[in-house]
A and B are shown apart, each in its own frame.
Chain A
């Protein structure tokens, strides 16, 4: 369903991604782990078109982002991809001036042209699913980090995405909120939602992932079944990453 071929991304002279290939099938939960600065966020942002890249190609369903596209074509393709690929950010990025409910109905109404009633109806469903039905009218600043992130997940789900991209969704949260958010994500995975998750939560990766990819210095250095990767890491980078996480 998602194909990435030879993705190269440079910021000026600095090569941040050096030819990444990846394939994610329907219903798969792919976890990306790797040291900070290894290009994981940049990779996700290339997938949904927030960043342009210099070489390679990304295909999601029948839409393609290509390094050779004009800015206009890229913007158009990115917009189509964003309707199918939701994104959950480390910093939540809820619309600060809107309530939880408004955050969730905004895109279905503006982008999918849904009526307000229909959008609200569906939003309530997603907010119930993330356990936030009781705070519909709260603004982001009135919510805890964990609550904000759960609303952000409902906001992404409300577009009915084929895949949801998570960029370290729990890194800004305390342990309790982390648990709440991860349990929501585990439920999603169990329901068959295709997900690409950048995370340092190894427990989640091991339990929920169908495949784990290890990023090292702008490339995927090792991929495999979570149990295999965590039990018998093949690459030096993976070993040092796992020992760091255990020490922490």
Chain B
């Protein structure tokens, strides 16, 4: 896939406040924004009045940032949690910090909606974000560390400039929309292929599994998880550098200033260092935290590039490629699901007696467990290729539903049809193949077409096996450009364009079937 560096956070230009509000309306249906003109109070006053400072993060991002406390699984711990506890107390005697869970790449959108006051979760400072939100001074200076299998002949990034000996590109697993994603995408010049994961540890697991060559991780995650993934080791020195900052809404200047000053105090007193050392992520670079920052990083004056619909057109190729992935997954899996479903239904109704309970159990097991989990098993345990895992996962998942539809369809064929076939000397198998199944297929066309529409949208779950389908691409682009509304509308329009013909087909076939039934007479 061709990755356009323009989508990266650092090159994109921030949207206007008005656009941001529109995005919020679309995303949450609520326009209760601290930024709204009718809500002038600063979130600092609210936090003090409430006694809680709510900060957003994603525990799935994992340690050492904010993660479930191994000693008290309902609680959250991590170096950011400890920093926020300290900062909250700095706001007032009785102010407590309160963690609020959100999906990592959507945290800023949730911040817009007002569900929490700030975002603190390894969010790096970028000019684009700094235009739309208020940032504090950094509480950590991160670098990116390439990790690969221990004993890999590759020693540094420079070795990745040439493709593998067999000519194929190196694969680099990253966390979607992270700094590593931006960095790797910028170097995606033929010799490297970027593979996107929804979780940092998923990426490490896949590399340790041998499914991909390397993973590029923020140094804190790389150091913290060194023990958990013994098969992985650092490749070359850390690259790039950037700053983790706290983001607040544009209207909450007082809150931002208070937190910024708090970080300054923690850096000067050595408190910050103690916390970072406790999590094993202190290094010499961090000395700059106390020495180089007197306040928030300056916001650059921006020159706006393409915006809105022009930007959607600009990324048309990527949306088209993602649409093809969605189509490929749908059309690859649905015929398989229908075939497996029919076989299962036939087995349950007409197969050998010992097979029947097994098939019933298959249907219940597959229907009773989430598609996401099934994809995990296929991809991380069986280590199938992403396309194979995606198509097989969808096919298996939907086969259980199709089996039930077919079972009803087979049972809806009048008994007399089977008896007439048997009375003519046909075998049971011949009767099924020539008489019963063809009629059942006609009966199940409408519900199966409906299921196909549902499957179309379920293909989005395949992003967990690194396939960049339409929803994932939308998420990447909306994140990178923050033109959420336009990209959401474009993605929705594409989904509709694909599912509407199916809807029409389903309704048409239903009508036709209804007409046949009405004229059917005795059968």
Q: Which residues of A contact B (CB under 8 A)?
A: 48-50, 75, 78-80, 82-83, 85-87, 89, 91-97, 106-107, 110-111, 140-143, 145, 148, 152, 155-156, 159, 172
Contacts and interface: CB of A to CB of B under 8 A. Distances in A.
Given A93-B417, A95-B435, A87 B521 contact: no
Contact of B423 (A48, A80, A141, A142): A48
Contacts of B520: 96, 141
A87 B418 CA distance: 13
A97 to B, nearest CB: 5
| Nearest 5 Cβ contacts at the A-B interface | A93-B420, A107-B424, A93-B416, A87-B423, A83-B425
Contact of A107 (B426, B516, B519): B426
A48 B422 CA distance: 9
A93 B419 contact: yes
A82 B425 CA distance: 5
B352 to A, nearest CB: 11
B522 interface: yes
B522 A145 contact: yes
Contacts of A156: 424
A227 to B, nearest CB: 32
A54 B426 CA distance: 24
A148 B522 contact: yes
A49 B426 CA distance: 13
Interface in B127-162: none
A48 B309 CA distance: 72
Given A93-B420, A141-B520, A145-B522, A79 B427 contact: yes
B442 interface: yes
Contacts of A93: 414, 416-417, 419-420, 523
A110 B442 contact: no
Contacts of B442: 97
A81 B520 CA distance: 31
A186 to B, nearest CB: 23
Given A111-B424, A141-B521, 19 more contacts: A78-B422, A79-B425, A82-B425, A83-B425, A86-B423, A87-B423, A89-B419, A92-B523, A93-B420, A95-B417, A95-B421, A96-B523, A97-B438, A107-B425, A110-B430, A141-B520, A142-B519, A156-B424, A172-B522
A75 B428 CA distance: 10
B292 to A, nearest CB: 79
Contacts of B287: none
Contact of A148 (B419, B426, B521): B521
B434 interface: yes
Nearest to A85: B423
A84 to B, nearest CB: 8
B425 A92 contact: no
Contacts of A143: 521
Interface of B: 414, 416-417, 419-428, 430, 434-435, 438-439, 442, 516, 519-523
Given A140-B523, A141-B521, A148-B521, A96 B424 contact: no
Nearest to B423: A87
B516 to A, nearest CB: 6
A40 to B, nearest CB: 16
Contacts of A172: 522
Contact of B424 (A106, A141, A148): A106
B516 A106 contact: no
Nearest to B428: A75
7 contacts: A79-B425, A83-B425, A86-B423, A86-B424, A95-B435, A110-B430, A110-B434
A165 to B, nearest CB: 8
A149 to B, nearest CB: 10
Contacts of B434: 95, 106, 110
Nearest to A76: B427
Nearest to A142: B519
B430 to A, nearest CB: 5
Contacts of A91: 416, 522-523
B213 to A, nearest CB: 54
A159 B428 CA distance: 18
A48 B423 CA distance: 7
B424 A92 contact: no
A50 B419 CA distance: 7
B519 A141 contact: yes
B425 A159 contact: yes
Contacts of B420: 87, 89, 93-95, 152
B523 A50 contact: no
A63 to B, nearest CB: 12
A172 B416 CA distance: 15
A98 to B, nearest CB: 8
A28 B325 CA distance: 70
